Amino acid sequence: MKADVFDARALREAFGAFPTAVTVITASDPAGRPVGFTANSFTSGSLDPPLLL
């Protein structure tokens, strides 16, 4: 495949075929309330140009 020619839809489907591990990061704020967020370990950075994170 040439670097300047690719099928964005096929790339999106390929990225979507991989299972993704998700982790939940939690902590307490200064007032003692729980806070948190989820972090993804595998994702596409961009379809144009094609980048993987």
The predicted-structure confidence for 1-53, as pLDDT tens digits, reads as follows 455 677 888 888 887 787 777 888 899 999 999 999 988 777 778 878 888 77
Residue at 22 is within a domain: yes
The whole-angstrom separation of Cα 41 and Cα 28 is: 23
Residue at 2 is within a domain: no
Q: Which of 1, 3, 16, 17 is nearest to 50 (CA)?
A: 3
Tally of domains within the chain:
1
Residue at 51 is within a domain: no
pTM above 0.85, yes or no: no
Q: Is 15 exposed, middle or buried (0-12, 13-18, 19+ CB in 10 A)?
A: middle
Residue at 19 is within a domain: yes
- Please report which helix (H) or strand (E) contains residue 13, including its range: helix 8-16
Residue at 52 is within a domain: no
Where in the sequence is the domain holding 39, given as residue range(s)?
A: 8-44
Residue at 38 is within a domain: yes
Residue at 53 is within a domain: no
The whole-angstrom separation of Cα 30 and Cα 40 is: 26
